[in-house]
């Protein structure tokens, strides 16, 4: 369009310039006028030709623009198709996820596994351990319900595969600050059992003394919980209140703090924990458990009675940058009761039993002092703890001890770790030799 | 001491019931919301503050968006995260993925 205007202007200006000449020429030479007219006519023809050319050029430009628009549209379509194909490829490559189309239900397979080697100077043999394989299943319906379950596969000393259900629970989200949990759940007492025991999180190969089987740390229970976190300004208050089947009397009059499919009495155990985080790096908590446990049936003149069991504990953790420091303390007390030591044994009066366990642990990631690509992944760790048992000589002989762990971890990835460490077990009962274990473990959380 | 606590169990039940009744009206509340830059920023802060309390922080690239959504919901329960904080963390992880 601009070219057309320019040509018209040029022609018009040329005409104006010619008019004076015409006037003078009329008086001098008619032949010149005719020549000029011919020239004007010629120019008009040229102008018409140029107009035609401009029109043709504009037409070509319009066509080019249309082609360009079509090409852009095609490119956008191709980009969208590529994006869709990529999403589909990701979905196909991640069979554990099925919600790319915004469906109401989605699921996720996670878990952890470990394998290791234990060398001991005690009565046991040096042995490779197949460790554990713990798949975890998460099924979520919208933002209303999450079902989560964890199995634990281990190999026993005879080569058989043991399978245990660690937890199997429905999380029903009532509110931003309240979740109702029903089913089999990990005990909310303290921090270790519920949050720290998976081998890719635990910085030492095993649990602290008193925090594993036959210890004072409850493992899991079956019942219901109400739990959540409540912001208090910049601080956070967390709470758990649980009602479950509760513990049972175990062998030698000990207390079995593991979930049982059927309660041994009508009394329900009440468990709770309050956690307070004044700042993000610091968490302190207090827990309790109160329950009754029935004595074990047996022979003799006495019939089994039940006993009160009460547990309380405190815990704390400070985590900042490469530092990870934590402690836990648990104190449990079972009243005296009539019970057999083992099913079918003689029923007798078992004295009150007190259980006390604690540990403190400090770990430091070398990334705090070096950027070296290898050195920065090392993490020295030390843990010291104690398990005290009063009221059962048999259990005291088996488990009461002081335990020191010193280890060095290497993190191949945030959830893949190779651990090496030494564990010194100093048993409390005179006559039982101390034991030193050299432990190596490879763990992967996925 | 145990007897005293056992006698108070009815009180605990009542307390739990009242709490649940208070919480129930929000049961059907839609917790999904479109992430915005402010939410993503809050999520980044919450992610850094909460995840490292128990374990190493995992890269947002380790899981897909959907896997993160489920995984963080699991951690909402395990770590007693308020629901809105969990939503912020999910928004951050999706934005970083």
pLDDT tens digit sequence for A382-428: 999 999 999 999 999 999 999 999 999 999 999 999 999 999 999 99
Phi, psi torsion values for A225, nearest 5 degrees: -130, 150
Residues whose CB falls within 8 Å of the CB of residue B35, separated by 6 or more in sequence, listed in order: B43, B91, B94, B95
Which residue stretches of A362-410 are H helix? Answer: 393-399
- Beta carbons of A338 and A303 less than 8 angstroms apart: yes
B74–chain A Cβ distance below 8 A for any pair: yes
Closest residue by Cα to residue A173 from A108, A228, A136: A228
pLDDT above 70 coverage of chain A, percent: 88
Q: Which pLDDT value is given to residue A376?
A: 97
Among partner residues A275, A280, A288, which is closest to B49 by beta-carbon distance? A280
Closest B-chain CA to A109? B67
Where is pLDDT greater, at A142 or B22? A142
- Beta carbons of A285 and A276 less than 8 angstroms apart: yes
Distance from CA of B94 to the nearest CA of A (A): 13
Residues A52-68, mean pLDDT to the nearest whole number: 84
Distance from CA of B92 to the nearest CA of A (A): 17
Residues A159-177, mean pLDDT to the nearest whole number: 97
B7–chain A Cβ distance below 8 A for any pair: no
- Asked whether the predicted pLDDT for residue A19 surpasses 70, the reply is no
Q: What pLDDT, in 10s, does the model give residues B32-83?
A: 556 689 999 999 999 999 999 999 999 999 999 999 999 999 999 999 999 9
Phi, psi torsion values for B46, nearest 5 degrees: -65, -35
Among partner residues B31, B55, B77, which is closest to A143 by beta-carbon distance? B31
Name the 3-class secondary structure at A365.
coil
Q: DSSP for B29-85?
A: --------HHHHHHHHHHHHHHGGGTSPPPPGGGS-HHHHHHHHHHHHHHTT--HHH
- Cα dihedral: A281, B66, B92, B78 (round 10): -20
A90 vs B contacts (CB less than 8 Å): 64
Which residue stretches of A237-293 are H helix? Answer: none
Q: Which pLDDT value is given to residue A133?
A: 97
CB spacing of A148 vs B26 below 8 angstroms:
no
- Asked whether the predicted pLDDT for residue A177 surpasses 90, the reply is yes
Among partner residues A100, A138, A177, which is closest to B82 by beta-carbon distance? A177
A191–chain B Cβ distance below 8 A for any pair: yes
Among partner residues B49, B57, B70, which is closest to A138 by beta-carbon distance? B70
CB spacing of B71 vs A110 below 8 angstroms:
yes
CB spacing of A106 vs B82 below 8 angstroms:
no
Residues whose CB falls within 8 Å of the CB of residue A60, separated by 6 or more in sequence, listed in order: none
B31 vs A contacts (CB less than 8 Å): 143, 173, 176
Q: Which pLDDT value is given to residue A322?
A: 96
- Cα dihedral: A260, A261, A265, A267 (round 10): 80
Interface of B with A in 23-62 (CB under 8 A): 23-24, 26-32, 49-50, 52-59, 62
Rounded Cα distance between B21 and A374, Å, is 54
pLDDT confidence of A53, banded at 50, 70, 90? confident
Closest A-chain CA to B30? A143
pLDDT confidence of A366, banded at 50, 70, 90? very high
Where is pLDDT greater, at A78 or A109? A109
B82–chain A Cβ distance below 8 A for any pair: yes
Within its chain, how far is the Cα of A64 from the centroid? 55
Q: Which pLDDT value is given to residue A216?
A: 97
Rounded Cα distance between A54 and A394, Å, is 108
Where is pLDDT greater, at B21 or A282? A282
Q: Which pLDDT value is given to residue A320?
A: 95
Q: Which pLDDT value is given to residue A8?
A: 55
Where is pLDDT greater, at A195 or A100? A195
A283–chain B Cβ distance below 8 A for any pair: yes
Q: What pLDDT, in 10s, does the model give residues A315-331?
A: 999 999 999 999 999 99
pLDDT confidence of B26, banded at 50, 70, 90? very low
A309: tokens are 């069991």
B13–chain A Cβ distance below 8 A for any pair: yes
**Residue with structure tokens 């007190």?**
A354
Q: What pLDDT, in 10s, does the model give residues A206-218?
A: 999 999 988 999 9
Q: Which pLDDT value is given to residue A18?
A: 47
Q: Which pLDDT value is given to residue A21?
A: 45
Q: What pLDDT, in 10s, does the model give residues A422-446?
A: 999 999 999 899 999 999 999 999 9
B93–chain A Cβ distance below 8 A for any pair: no
- Asked whether the predicted pLDDT for residue A34 surpasses 90, the reply is no
CB spacing of A138 vs B3 below 8 angstroms:
no
pLDDT confidence of A29, banded at 50, 70, 90? low
Phi, psi torsion values for B8, nearest 5 degrees: -90, 5
Name beta bridge partners: A420.
A408, A440
Q: Poorest-confidence range of A258-267, A364-373, B86-95?
A: A258-267
- Beta carbons of A109 and A136 less than 8 angstroms apart: yes
A317–chain B Cβ distance below 8 A for any pair: yes
Q: Which pLDDT value is given to residue B30?
A: 45
Q: What pLDDT, in 10s, does the model give residues A80-123?
A: 676 666 566 555 555 444 444 568 999 999 999 999 999 999 88
Give me Rg for the CA atoms of chain A: 41
């Amino acid at each position: 369009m601009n070219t057309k205007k320019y040509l018209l202007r040029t022609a018009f200006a040329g005409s104006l310039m010619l008019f004076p000449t015409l006037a003078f020429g009329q008086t001098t030479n008619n032949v010149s006028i005719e020549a000029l007219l011919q020239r004007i006519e010629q120019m008009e023809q040229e102008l018409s030709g140029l107009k035609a050319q401009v029109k043709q050029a504009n037409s070509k430009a319009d066509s080019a623009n249309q082609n360009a628009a079509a090409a852009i549209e095609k490119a956008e379509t191709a980009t969208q198709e590529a994006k869709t194909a990529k999403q589909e490829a990701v979905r196909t490559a991640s069979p554990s996820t099925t919600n790319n189309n915004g469906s109401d239900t989605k699921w996720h397979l996670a878990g952890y596994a470990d394998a290791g080697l234990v060398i001991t100077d005690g009565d046991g043999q040096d042995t490779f351990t197949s460790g554990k394989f713990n798949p975890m299943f998460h099924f979520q319906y919208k933002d209303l319900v999450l079902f989560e379950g964890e199995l634990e596969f281990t190999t026993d000393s005879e080569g058989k595969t043991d399978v245990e259900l660690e937890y199997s629970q429905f999380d029903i989200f009532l509110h931003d600050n309240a979740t109702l949990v029903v089913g089999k759940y990990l005990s909310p007492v303290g921090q270790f059992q519920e949050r720290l025991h998976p081998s890719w999180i635990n910085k030492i190969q095993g649990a602290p003394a008193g925090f594993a089987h036959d210890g004072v740390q409850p493992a899991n229970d079956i019942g219901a919980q109400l739990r959540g976190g409540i912001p208090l300004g910049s601080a956070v208050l967390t709470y758990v209140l649980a009602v479950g089947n509760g513990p049972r009397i175990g062998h030698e009059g000990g207390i079995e703090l593991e979930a049982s499919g059927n309660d041994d009495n009508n009394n329900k155990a009440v468990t709770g924990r309050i956690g307070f985080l004044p700042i993000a790096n610091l968490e302190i908590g207090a827990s309790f458990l109160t329950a009754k446990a029935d004595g074990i049936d047996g022979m003799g003149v006495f019939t089994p009675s039940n006993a009160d069991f009460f547990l309380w504990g405190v815990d704390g953790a400070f985590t900042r940058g490469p530092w990870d420091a934590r402690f836990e303390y648990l104190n449990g007390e079972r009243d005296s009761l009539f019970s057999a030591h083992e099913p079918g044994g003689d029923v007798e009066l078992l004295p009150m039993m007190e259980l006390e366990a604690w540990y403190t642990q400090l770990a430091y990631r070398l990334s705090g002092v070096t950027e070296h690509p290898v050195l920065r992944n090392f993490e020295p760790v030390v843990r010291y703890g104690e398990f005290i048992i009063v009221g059962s000589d048999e259990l005291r002989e088996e488990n009461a001890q002081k335990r020191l762990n010193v280890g060095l971890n290497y993190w191949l990835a945030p959830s893949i770790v190779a651990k090496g460490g030494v564990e010194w077990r100093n048993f409390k009962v005179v006559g039982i030799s101390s034991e030193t274990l050299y432990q190596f473990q490879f763990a992967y959380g996925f | 001491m145990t007897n005293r606590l056992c006698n108070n169990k009815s009180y605990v039940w009542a307390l739990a019931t009242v709490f649940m009744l208070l919480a129930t009206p929000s049961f059907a509340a839609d917790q999904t919301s479109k992430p915005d830059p402010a939410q993503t920023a809050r999520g980044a802060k919450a992610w850094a503050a909460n995840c490292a309390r128990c374990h190493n922080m995992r890269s947002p690239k380790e899981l897909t968006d959907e896997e993160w959504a489920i995984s963080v919901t699991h951690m909402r329960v395990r770590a007693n995260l308020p629901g809105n904080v969990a939503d912020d963390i999910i928004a951050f992880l999706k934005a970083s993925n």
